[in-house]
Structure 1
Amino acid sequence: MITLHYDSRFGLARGAVCIDGQPHLYAEGYEFNQSLTMVNVQSVARLKSKAGGVAFLTLADGAEAVLDVPQEGFAKLVEGATLEIEIIAEPRQEKLARARLIASATGEPRRISPVQSLKDRLLAQVSDGDDIVESTLDSDALDGAEDAALNPSSPLPEGGYLSIERTRALIACDIDSAGGEGNATPKAFAKACNERAVSDIGRRLRLSGLAGLIVMDLIGKRHDADRLRHLLQAGFGSEADKLIIGPIGKFGTLEFVRPWGATPLMDMARSPVRAAHLLLRNAVKRAKEEPGRLLTLRAPAGTLDIIRPLLAASHDPLSAIIRLEAATKSEVIVT
């Protein structure tokens, strides 16, 4: 069963897609995000400059992106030209968004793709369009998906542990069999842990948004490479054909490349939009606990600058009892 858990308030939203109770996708932010650097958004952009074999774009909203173009096509690009492009990877940490070239264009930079709600963007990622998706709201399920997106390391079902750590160069994954062999022999339990981890890595990476070079440190040295490859591809589902999978190394590592897509939630952890969302979510919680009381939201100026227009545009009944106050620390005060 595929279930979409979705919550929207004050123009901000969050949602999670769960399959048989397990979270597979999570997203949060503006309910209708106007950004042109989101995955799959098409627009007309202007070629800002070319340097060192890299082409830089300026989008209609002022954001910048790097253009992926074959070397033979790079020389034909003219600075200042307008190009129809599609975003294939969102910005992350110190990296700009990446775009692919669709065609040459005329006119001023502009958006082409319609603005979709966060809910529709999540539904579009469900692997099979024929599947029936049940839509509901379960705050615990949303909280669980959010936590898993921020912390992809966790125990494996039926024993073992899969640790996922991000570095500047790659995503390092360690499989640990400690924690319960049951009636299985150490060798059989290690084999089972490897298979469970390889089967689940796709879900965890998709949920967290992590990608790039993935290195999995398998338990032991002798492995059924064909079976592990099959389990890895099955775990990624329709995304499997985008993977580049290498042979298992002599030191027992399975390496593959997953193309970057959406910005990892952990990269958004300190953004003003996320800070505003967390503060408003806390305000909703406090209002349920103590109904009818006035709420004062204290936060840094950058966070309040996000909240202020959201409250002004909202018809939410809580908007009338919320006051904003600048402070160094974010908190909700009930009076």
Structure 2
Amino acid sequence: MITLHYESRFGLARGAVFIDGRPHLYTEGYEYDQSLIKVNVRSVARLKSKAGGLAFLSLADGSEAVLDVPQEVFAKLVEGTALEIEIIAEARQEKRARARLIGAAQGEPRRITPVQSLKDRLLAQAAKLGEDIESIINFDCLDAAEDGALNPSGPLSQGGYLSIERTRALIACDVDSAGGEGVLTPKAFAKACNARAVSDIGRRLRLSGLAGLVVIDLIGRRHDADRLRQLLLSGFGPEADKLIIGPVGKFGTLEFVRPWGATPLMDTIRSPVRAAHLLLREAIKRAEGEPGRLLTLRAPAAVLDIIRPLLAASHDPLSAIIRLEAAVKPEVIVT
């Protein structure tokens, strides 16, 4: 069973997709994001420059992206020309967004694909995971999916633990059998932990948005590589054909590459948009607990600059009782 949990208020939204009671997708941000560097967005861009074997693009909204093309195509590109492109990976940490070349274009840089709501984008992702999607709203589910997106490490069902840590070079995963109970022998329990971890890694990476080179440190040294590979592919579902999987190493590691896509939620922790969203969510909770009281949102100027136009454009009744005040630390004051 697939369920979509979605909430939108003040022009900001968040949504989560659950399959059989477990979160698989989570996203948040502007309800209608105008950005041209979102995955699958097509636009006409200008080839700004070429350096070090890379082609840099300038997009219509002032953002930049790196063009992903073979060297034989790269050599023929001329700076200043207009190109139709599609974003294949969003910006993350110190990495620019990446785009694929569709072809030559005419005219000024501009958007081609229409702006979709966050809900429609999430539904399109959910449709790849299965049919019969039921839309409901459960705030506990949204919070649980958000927590899973920010903290992909956690216990495995029926015992064991899967740790997922992001480094500069790769995603390091460790399977631990600590806390195992039951009738299984230590060797059999370790084997079961490995199987559960490999089966669930796809869901956790999809939920958190982590990708790139992934290394799983399995328990033990001798493994059924074919079975682990099948479990890994099955866990990724429709994404499986995009994976590049290596053999199980002699030290008991399973390595694979998952292409980057959307920006991981953990990369947005310090963004003004997320800070604004969290502050407004807190204001809504406080207003429900103490109706009719005046709310003062205190935050840095960059955060207030995002909230101010959202309140001005909103017909939400809370807009009338919200005041904004510059401060170093974001907080909601009820008076």
Q: TM-score, normalised by structure 1?
A: 0.99
Q: 1:35 to 1:322 in 2, by over 3 A?
A: same
Q: Which amino acid aligns with 1:140?
A: D
Q: Secondary structure at the match of 2:33?
A: coil
Gaps of 5+ in 1: none
1:138 aligns with 2:138: yes
- Superposed, which structure 2 residues align to 1:100-119 within 5 Å? 100-119=100-119
Give the corresponding residue for 1:205.
Answer: 205
Q: 1:86 to 1:37 in 2, by over 3 A?
A: same
Q: Secondary structure at the match of 1:173?
A: strand
1:4 aligns with 2:4: yes
Aligned residues: 335
Give the corresponding residue for 1:87.
Answer: 87
Q: CA RMSD in A?
A: 0.8
Q: Secondary structure at the match of 2:3?
A: strand
Give the corresponding residue for 1:167.
Answer: 167
Give the corresponding residue for 1:269.
Answer: 269
- Superposed, which structure 2 residues align to 1:20-169 within 5 Å? 20-128=20-128, 131-169=131-169
User: Partners in 2 of 1:73 and 1:241 — Cα distance?
Assistant: 25
Q: Which amino acid aligns with 1:5?
A: H
Deviation per CA, 1:101-152: give whole Å up to 9, x if none.
Answer: 0010000000001100000000101244861111111110000000000000
User: Partners in 1 of 2:192 and 2:229 — Cα distance?
Assistant: 14
Q: 1:310 to 1:95 in 2, by over 3 A?
A: same
Instruction: Determine if contact 1:294/1:322 at 8 Å carries over to the other structure.
Output: yes
User: Partners in 1 of 2:296 and 2:225 — Cα distance?
Assistant: 58
User: Partners in 1 of 2:246 and 2:290 — Cα distance?
Assistant: 56
Q: Which amino acid aligns with 1:284?
A: I
Instruction: Determine if contact 1:69/1:100 at 8 Å carries over to the other structure.
Output: yes
Give the corresponding residue for 1:234.
Answer: 234
Gaps of 5+ in 2: none
User: Partners in 1 of 2:90 and 2:178 — Cα distance?
Assistant: 37
Q: TM-score, normalised by structure 2?
A: 0.99
Instruction: Determine if contact 1:127/1:237 at 8 Å carries over to the other structure.
Output: no
1:179 aligns with 2:179: yes
Q: Which amino acid aligns with 1:181?
A: E
Q: Secondary structure at the match of 1:126?
A: helix
Q: Secondary structure at the match of 2:251?
A: coil
Give the corresponding residue for 1:215.
Answer: 215
User: Partners in 2 of 1:194 and 1:286 — Cα distance?
Assistant: 44
Instruction: Determine if contact 1:210/1:260 at 8 Å carries over to the other structure.
Output: yes
